[in-house]
A and B are shown apart, each in its own frame.
Chain A
Amino acid sequence: ETGVTQTPRHLVMGMTNKKSLKCEQHLGHNAMYWYKQSAKKPLELMFVYNFKEQTENNSVPSRFSPECPNSSHLFLHLHTLQPEDSALYLCASSQEGDSNSPLHFGNGTRLTVT
């Protein structure tokens, strides 16, 4: 148990579907992150939310749409994805702006786009 819960663990979707990934943290953190991990590639930061405000968007295509309704919940809305978007999507949380605070990761959602 990491304190960061992601659902679903596995998701298969077609290119025309719309789905959402959910992340919840119970650690009292105020920064939340979405990362993408493709096969044979390092983790790539997608989005950062800090006190519910988006502070980083690393040139992510608009077919990925994040939402952070409060500091404990983070969503990633998906629509019209491509097969190359198949990857492990990881959520993490930490204390905002504190580089002396480690990231806590969930176990990810394994996404397959068919």
Chain B
Amino acid sequence: DAKTTQPPSMDCAEGRAANLPCNHSTISGNEYVYWYRQIHSQGPQYIIHGLKNNETNEMASLIITEDRKSSTLILPHATLRDTAVYYCIRHSNYQLIWGAGTKLIIKP
């Protein structure tokens, strides 16, 4: 099963850190963990990805547990424009299985 498990929805206050969890307990050694987000009526937007180590870029941080069975996407200072559906995907070559994602709502 190449799926990941995410909570269907989350709220976060504007200015706070948003922490989005993802479970990928059956991930194999060569599969990357990717995060994308989709704002209404747009295509998915790449955020960040990693294999084993924690990663950070200008958008977010990705924390991957040592056993690689789960990860957390962190948006350090959420803004209203971060309201979107966030997808955690396992990626090995062309095999990407998209789930329903987490609908993140940032509240003023």
With A100-B32, A102-B34 as given contacts, are A43 and B44 in contact (CB-CB < 8 Å)? yes
Segment 28-77 of B: residues with Cβ below 8 Å from A: 30-32, 34, 36, 41-46, 49, 51
With A42-B100, A99-B31 as given contacts, are A105 and B94 in contact (CB-CB < 8 Å)? no
Q: Tell me whether B96 is interfacial, beta carbon within 8 Å.
A: yes
- In this complex, how many residues of chain A approach chain B with their Cβ under 8 Å: the count is 25
Complexed CA–CA distance, A106 and B99 (Å) = 19
Q: Tell me whether A53 is interfacial, beta carbon within 8 Å.
A: no
Greatest chain A CB density within 10 A among B31, B36, B44, B91 is at B44
Q: Tell me whether B9 is interfacial, beta carbon within 8 Å.
A: no
Q: Tell me whether B26 is interfacial, beta carbon within 8 Å.
A: no
Determine whether the beta carbon of A105 is less than 8 Å from that of B45.
Answer: yes
- In this complex, how many residues of chain B approach chain A with their Cβ under 8 Å: the count is 23
Determine whether the beta carbon of A45 is less than 8 Å from that of B100.
Answer: no
| Contact pattern, B 69-95, Cβ under 8 Å of A = 1, otherwise 0 | 000000000000000000000011110
Q: Tell me whether A107 is interfacial, beta carbon within 8 Å.
A: yes
Q: Tell me whether A74 is interfacial, beta carbon within 8 Å.
A: no
With A102-B34, A102-B49, A105-B44 as given contacts, are A42 and B93 in contact (CB-CB < 8 Å)? no
13 extra interchain contacts, Cβ-Cβ under 8 A, other than A42-B97, A99-B93?
A: A4-B43, A31-B94, A42-B98, A42-B99, A44-B98, A90-B43, A97-B93, A99-B31, A99-B92, A100-B32, A103-B46, A105-B45, A107-B43
Instruction: Rank and list the top 9 A-B pairs by shortest CB-CB distance, nearest first.
Output: A105-B43, A43-B98, A102-B46, A42-B98, A107-B43, A105-B44, A99-B91, A107-B42, A90-B43
Question: For A92, what are the chain B residues with a Cβ–Cβ distance below 8 Å?
Answer: 43
Complexed CA–CA distance, A42 and B34 (Å) = 16
Min CB distance A104 to B, Å, is: 7
* Residue from B45, B98, B99, B100 in contact with A2 in the complex, judged by beta carbons closer than 8 Å: B45
Question: For B96, what are the chain A residues with a Cβ–Cβ distance below 8 Å?
Answer: 45, 103
Question: For A44, what are the chain B residues with a Cβ–Cβ distance below 8 Å?
Answer: 98
Q: Tell me whether A66 is interfacial, beta carbon within 8 Å.
A: no
